[in-house]
Amino acid sequence: MLAIVAAATSIDSAVKGMDPALQLIILMASLSLIPFIVVSMTSFLRYIIVLSILKTALGTQQVPPSVVLVGMALVLTFYTMGPVFGEMYEKAMPLIQQKQSIVSVMDKGSQPLKEFMMRQTRQSDISFFLEMTRKEAPNSPQDISLWEVAPAYMISELRTSFEIGFVIFIPFIVLDLVVANILLALGMFMLSPTIISLPFKILVFVAVDGWGLIINGLVQSFN
Protein backbone atom coordinates (compact mmCIF):
# COMPACT_ATOMS: atom_id res chain seq x y z
CA MET A 1 0.00 0.00 0.00
CA LEU A 2 2.91 2.35 0.72
CA ALA A 3 4.15 2.28 -2.86
CA ILE A 4 0.62 2.45 -4.26
CA VAL A 5 0.05 5.72 -2.42
CA ALA A 6 2.67 7.40 -4.62
CA ALA A 7 1.54 5.96 -7.94
CA ALA A 8 -0.97 8.47 -9.34
CA THR A 9 -0.56 11.94 -7.89
CA SER A 10 -0.63 13.59 -11.32
CA ILE A 11 -4.23 12.54 -12.03
CA ASP A 12 -6.48 15.52 -12.39
CA SER A 13 -8.53 16.52 -9.36
CA ALA A 14 -11.74 16.18 -11.34
CA VAL A 15 -11.30 12.42 -11.19
CA LYS A 16 -12.16 12.49 -7.49
CA GLY A 17 -15.86 12.35 -8.27
CA MET A 18 -15.68 9.31 -10.51
CA ASP A 19 -17.50 6.06 -9.91
CA PRO A 20 -15.99 3.78 -7.19
CA ALA A 21 -15.56 1.03 -9.79
CA LEU A 22 -13.35 3.29 -11.88
CA GLN A 23 -11.41 4.26 -8.79
CA LEU A 24 -10.79 0.56 -8.16
CA ILE A 25 -9.50 0.20 -11.71
CA ILE A 26 -7.07 3.06 -11.09
CA LEU A 27 -5.91 1.38 -7.90
CA MET A 28 -5.31 -1.93 -9.67
CA ALA A 29 -3.51 -0.21 -12.54
CA SER A 30 -1.24 1.54 -10.08
CA LEU A 31 -0.02 -1.85 -8.88
CA SER A 32 1.94 -2.19 -12.12
CA LEU A 33 3.87 0.97 -11.20
CA ILE A 34 5.28 -0.46 -7.97
CA PRO A 35 8.50 -1.84 -9.57
CA PHE A 36 9.04 1.48 -11.35
CA ILE A 37 8.56 3.42 -8.12
CA VAL A 38 10.93 1.21 -6.13
CA VAL A 39 13.66 1.28 -8.78
CA SER A 40 13.42 4.92 -9.84
CA MET A 41 12.02 6.95 -6.95
CA THR A 42 13.73 5.52 -3.88
CA SER A 43 17.28 5.05 -2.63
CA PHE A 44 17.47 1.76 -4.56
CA LEU A 45 18.84 3.61 -7.59
CA ARG A 46 21.98 4.80 -5.81
CA TYR A 47 22.58 1.52 -4.02
CA ILE A 48 22.41 -0.72 -7.08
CA ILE A 49 24.56 1.53 -9.28
CA VAL A 50 27.34 1.93 -6.69
CA LEU A 51 27.34 -1.78 -5.85
CA SER A 52 27.52 -2.66 -9.56
CA ILE A 53 30.44 -0.27 -10.07
CA LEU A 54 32.17 -1.80 -7.05
CA LYS A 55 31.82 -5.27 -8.56
CA THR A 56 33.35 -4.02 -11.81
CA ALA A 57 36.19 -2.29 -9.96
CA LEU A 58 37.04 -5.49 -8.09
CA GLY A 59 37.21 -7.33 -11.39
CA THR A 60 35.23 -10.35 -10.20
CA GLN A 61 33.01 -11.65 -12.96
CA GLN A 62 30.32 -13.58 -11.09
CA VAL A 63 31.05 -12.82 -7.43
CA PRO A 64 28.95 -11.60 -5.80
CA PRO A 65 26.08 -12.70 -8.07
CA SER A 66 23.83 -10.00 -9.48
CA VAL A 67 20.85 -11.34 -7.53
CA VAL A 68 22.82 -10.84 -4.31
CA LEU A 69 23.56 -7.21 -5.20
CA VAL A 70 19.91 -6.59 -6.05
CA GLY A 71 18.81 -8.21 -2.79
CA MET A 72 21.33 -6.17 -0.79
CA ALA A 73 20.21 -2.96 -2.50
CA LEU A 74 16.55 -3.81 -1.83
CA VAL A 75 17.14 -4.49 1.87
CA LEU A 76 19.13 -1.27 2.25
CA THR A 77 16.37 0.58 0.41
CA PHE A 78 13.74 -0.55 2.91
CA TYR A 79 16.09 0.39 5.73
CA THR A 80 16.68 3.89 4.33
CA MET A 81 13.11 4.47 3.21
CA GLY A 82 11.51 3.06 6.36
CA PRO A 83 10.77 6.48 7.96
CA VAL A 84 9.45 7.79 4.63
CA PHE A 85 7.16 4.80 4.17
CA GLY A 86 5.97 5.27 7.74
CA GLU A 87 5.01 8.89 7.08
CA MET A 88 3.23 7.88 3.90
CA TYR A 89 1.21 5.32 5.83
CA GLU A 90 0.31 7.81 8.59
CA LYS A 91 -0.90 10.38 6.08
CA ALA A 92 -2.86 7.95 3.95
CA MET A 93 -4.52 5.81 6.62
CA PRO A 94 -6.86 8.51 8.06
CA LEU A 95 -8.15 9.23 4.55
CA ILE A 96 -8.68 5.54 3.93
CA GLN A 97 -10.62 5.21 7.17
CA GLN A 98 -12.74 8.19 6.12
CA LYS A 99 -13.40 6.42 2.80
CA GLN A 100 -11.95 9.27 0.80
CA SER A 101 -11.36 8.83 -2.92
CA ILE A 102 -8.34 6.81 -4.01
CA VAL A 103 -6.90 9.81 -5.83
CA SER A 104 -7.03 11.90 -2.65
CA VAL A 105 -5.31 9.15 -0.70
CA MET A 106 -2.56 8.88 -3.30
CA ASP A 107 -2.06 12.62 -3.49
CA LYS A 108 -1.80 13.05 0.29
CA GLY A 109 0.23 9.92 0.92
CA SER A 110 2.84 10.71 -1.73
CA GLN A 111 3.96 13.96 -0.07
CA PRO A 112 6.68 12.36 2.14
CA LEU A 113 8.12 10.57 -0.90
CA LYS A 114 8.26 13.84 -2.82
CA GLU A 115 9.97 15.58 0.09
CA PHE A 116 12.55 12.78 0.29
CA MET A 117 13.36 13.08 -3.41
CA MET A 118 13.63 16.86 -3.23
CA ARG A 119 16.19 16.60 -0.42
CA GLN A 120 18.41 14.44 -2.64
CA THR A 121 17.90 16.42 -5.85
CA ARG A 122 20.06 19.26 -7.10
CA GLN A 123 18.26 22.54 -7.54
CA SER A 124 19.57 22.93 -11.08
CA ASP A 125 17.97 19.63 -12.13
CA ILE A 126 14.59 20.58 -10.67
CA SER A 127 14.79 24.02 -12.29
CA PHE A 128 15.43 22.47 -15.70
CA PHE A 129 12.30 20.32 -15.64
CA LEU A 130 10.17 23.10 -14.20
CA GLU A 131 11.26 25.40 -17.02
CA MET A 132 10.26 22.72 -19.53
CA THR A 133 6.76 22.22 -18.08
CA ARG A 134 5.81 25.60 -16.55
CA LYS A 135 5.73 29.17 -17.75
CA GLU A 136 5.93 30.55 -14.22
CA ALA A 137 8.02 29.39 -11.29
CA PRO A 138 6.09 27.73 -8.43
CA ASN A 139 5.52 29.79 -5.31
CA SER A 140 6.67 27.04 -2.94
CA PRO A 141 8.00 23.45 -3.04
CA GLN A 142 4.48 22.24 -2.22
CA ASP A 143 3.36 23.48 -5.65
CA ILE A 144 5.77 21.10 -7.41
CA SER A 145 4.21 17.78 -8.35
CA LEU A 146 5.73 14.39 -7.72
CA TRP A 147 6.14 13.74 -11.44
CA GLU A 148 8.13 16.94 -11.88
CA VAL A 149 10.50 15.96 -9.08
CA ALA A 150 10.93 12.33 -10.21
CA PRO A 151 12.98 12.90 -13.41
CA ALA A 152 15.16 15.50 -11.68
CA TYR A 153 15.71 13.06 -8.81
CA MET A 154 16.76 10.29 -11.17
CA ILE A 155 19.31 12.50 -12.94
CA SER A 156 20.73 13.70 -9.64
CA GLU A 157 20.97 10.15 -8.32
CA LEU A 158 22.75 8.97 -11.46
CA ARG A 159 25.30 11.74 -11.14
CA THR A 160 25.83 11.15 -7.42
CA SER A 161 26.17 7.40 -7.94
CA PHE A 162 28.81 7.79 -10.62
CA GLU A 163 30.71 10.30 -8.51
CA ILE A 164 30.82 7.77 -5.66
CA GLY A 165 31.76 5.02 -8.13
CA PHE A 166 34.65 7.09 -9.46
CA VAL A 167 36.07 7.49 -5.96
CA ILE A 168 35.72 3.73 -5.40
CA PHE A 169 37.47 2.94 -8.68
CA ILE A 170 40.63 4.98 -7.97
CA PRO A 171 42.41 2.65 -5.46
CA PHE A 172 41.71 -0.40 -7.62
CA ILE A 173 43.13 1.33 -10.69
CA VAL A 174 46.26 2.28 -8.74
CA LEU A 175 46.70 -1.33 -7.65
CA ASP A 176 46.29 -2.54 -11.23
CA LEU A 177 48.94 -0.06 -12.42
CA VAL A 178 51.38 -1.14 -9.70
CA VAL A 179 50.98 -4.82 -10.58
CA ALA A 180 51.28 -4.11 -14.31
CA ASN A 181 54.53 -2.14 -13.80
CA ILE A 182 55.99 -4.90 -11.64
CA LEU A 183 55.19 -7.55 -14.24
CA LEU A 184 56.64 -5.31 -16.95
CA ALA A 185 59.85 -4.86 -14.96
CA LEU A 186 60.13 -8.63 -14.50
CA GLY A 187 59.64 -9.19 -18.22
CA MET A 188 56.39 -11.14 -17.81
CA PHE A 189 54.71 -9.66 -20.87
CA MET A 190 52.45 -12.64 -21.55
CA LEU A 191 50.97 -12.76 -18.04
CA SER A 192 47.75 -10.78 -17.59
CA PRO A 193 48.06 -8.18 -14.81
CA THR A 194 44.39 -8.74 -13.94
CA ILE A 195 45.03 -12.32 -12.88
CA ILE A 196 47.73 -11.21 -10.46
CA SER A 197 46.03 -8.07 -9.17
CA LEU A 198 42.64 -9.69 -8.45
CA PRO A 199 43.67 -11.56 -5.27
CA PHE A 200 45.53 -8.48 -4.03
CA LYS A 201 42.48 -6.29 -4.59
CA ILE A 202 40.29 -8.74 -2.71
CA LEU A 203 42.86 -8.92 0.11
CA VAL A 204 43.11 -5.14 0.46
CA PHE A 205 39.34 -4.72 0.21
CA VAL A 206 38.70 -7.24 2.96
CA ALA A 207 41.56 -5.91 5.12
CA VAL A 208 40.10 -2.40 5.24
CA ASP A 209 36.53 -3.72 5.74
CA GLY A 210 35.51 -2.37 2.36
CA TRP A 211 31.93 -3.63 2.45
CA GLY A 212 31.29 -1.98 5.80
CA LEU A 213 32.87 1.31 4.73
CA ILE A 214 30.95 1.51 1.47
CA ILE A 215 27.57 0.51 2.94
CA ASN A 216 27.99 2.93 5.87
CA GLY A 217 28.96 5.71 3.49
CA LEU A 218 25.99 5.02 1.20
CA VAL A 219 23.47 4.96 4.03
CA GLN A 220 24.85 8.20 5.50
CA SER A 221 24.92 9.90 2.09
CA PHE A 222 21.12 10.34 2.09
CA ASN A 223 19.78 13.57 3.53
Question: What whole-number percentage of the chain has pLDDT above 90?
Answer: 15
62-76, 136-150, 167-181, range with the lowest pLDDT: 136-150
- pLDDT score, position 102: 64
Round the average pLDDT of the chain to a whole number and report it: 78
| 51: enclosing H helix or E strand | helix 44-58
| 127: enclosing H helix or E strand | helix 123-133
- pLDDT score, position 108: 72
- pLDDT score, position 18: 55
- pLDDT score, position 113: 85
**Could you read off the pLDDT of 133-153 as tens digits, one per residue?**
776 767 766 777 777 788 889
SS (H, E, C) 130-169: HHHHCCCCCCCHHHCCHHHHHHHHHHHHHHHHHHHHHHHH
Q: What is the mean pLDDT of residues 25-40?
A: 75
User: Does the pLDDT of residue 16 top 60, yes or no?
Assistant: no
- pLDDT score, position 101: 65
- pLDDT score, position 27: 65
Which residue type is seen at 114?
K
For residue 45, give the nearest of 145, 160, 124 by alpha carbon.
160
